[in-house]
Amino acid sequence: MAGNKLSIRDDPRFAQVLAGVGTKPWAEYCRQKLQKAVDTEANTVISFSSEMAIFVGHKGWQLLTDAKSKPFKSFRSFALTKLPYGLGCTEDQLSLLLREAQKSVEDRAVETKELPQPEIGKGKPGPGRGNKTGSHTTRFNDRGADYLTARIARDNPDILERMKAGEFKSVRQAALEAGIVHRRISIPTEPEAAARTLRKVFNPADLARLASLITAPQANE
């Protein structure tokens, strides 16, 4: 029945993604991201996103507990603890993870690898809508700090030089400046509260455009 239909907000993972920095749901979400990074990269270079750097900077592991429900006292103990409580790292993986966490924005700008130019309309045959695979960009395995830096180096070399000069506090801040990523906000489901939130974010012209888009009839309706 329609009344029993679940929405994305009923998924507990939704609350984790939107959770504020410094909260337990946020720490749990970061743990999942770190576990995936360790599992995917094995003993090579463990990719470390800006979100994960914030996790380390805010000592997010202190909000998590081990199998005995005791909070982790250090990042090392958190990293070496077996899944699902910790990251299940080996000593070598922990060293790689710490090395990545200590990289500055300037370091990443200097060390960035070349990202191929996208070949519009030249994707190889594949599954899904249009039966075409994505470009090098869309097939990139990770969208963390290294990927963002590579995109900036390819598409916005002037911003890369500003990164090298230490102008940005994080790779994400530089990516926002470059227009590669966009600011996201959490919108309450109660209309009046949602309106108050939107007024804080959008200027009058954008609010008018948003209202027009919301009320416009959809082709599939």
Q: The tokens of 132 are what?
A: 């075409």
Model confidence pLDDT, tens digit, residues 170-192: 888 899 999 998 887 778 788 89
Q: Give the range of the structural domain holding residue 202, as residue numbers without chain letter.
A: 187-221
**Average pLDDT rounded to a whole number, residues 147-173:** 91
Looking at the predicted structure, is the pLDDT value of residue 219 above 60? no
How much is the pLDDT for 83?
94
Looking at the predicted structure, is the pLDDT value of residue 15 above 70? no
If asked whether residues 165 and 200 sit together in one domain, one would say no
If asked whether residues 169 and 148 sit together in one domain, one would say yes
Indicate whether 148 belongs to any domain: yes
Model confidence pLDDT, tens digit, residues 32-75: 888 887 877 554 556 666 677 788 888 999 999 999 999 999 99
Indicate whether 70 belongs to any domain: yes
pTM summary value: 0.53
34: closest CA among 60, 72, 70? 60
Model confidence pLDDT, tens digit, residues 21-30: 888 888 998 8
Q: What percent of the chain has pLDDT over 70?
A: 71
Measure the CA dihedral 172/174/180/185, to 10°. Answer: 50
Task: Give one word for 179, left, alpha or beta, with left for phi > 0 and alpha for psi -120 to 50.
Answer: left
Indicate whether 180 belongs to any domain: yes
Mean pLDDT, the chain, rounded, equals: 77
Confidence of residue 76 (pLDDT cuts 50, 70, 90): very high
75 touches 97 (CB < 8 A): no
61: closest CA among 22, 93, 101, 12? 22
Looking at the predicted structure, is the pLDDT value of residue 157 above 70? yes
**Average pLDDT rounded to a whole number, residues 91-116:** 81
How much is the pLDDT for 10?
43
If asked whether residues 108 and 27 sit together in one domain, one would say no
If asked whether residues 82 and 149 sit together in one domain, one would say no
If asked whether residues 62 and 23 sit together in one domain, one would say yes
If asked whether residues 151 and 85 sit together in one domain, one would say no
Which has more pLDDT, 53 or 83?
A: 83
How much is the pLDDT for 60?
93
Indicate whether 127 belongs to any domain: no
If asked whether residues 93 and 1 sit together in one domain, one would say yes
Q: The tokens of 116 are what?
A: 């191929």
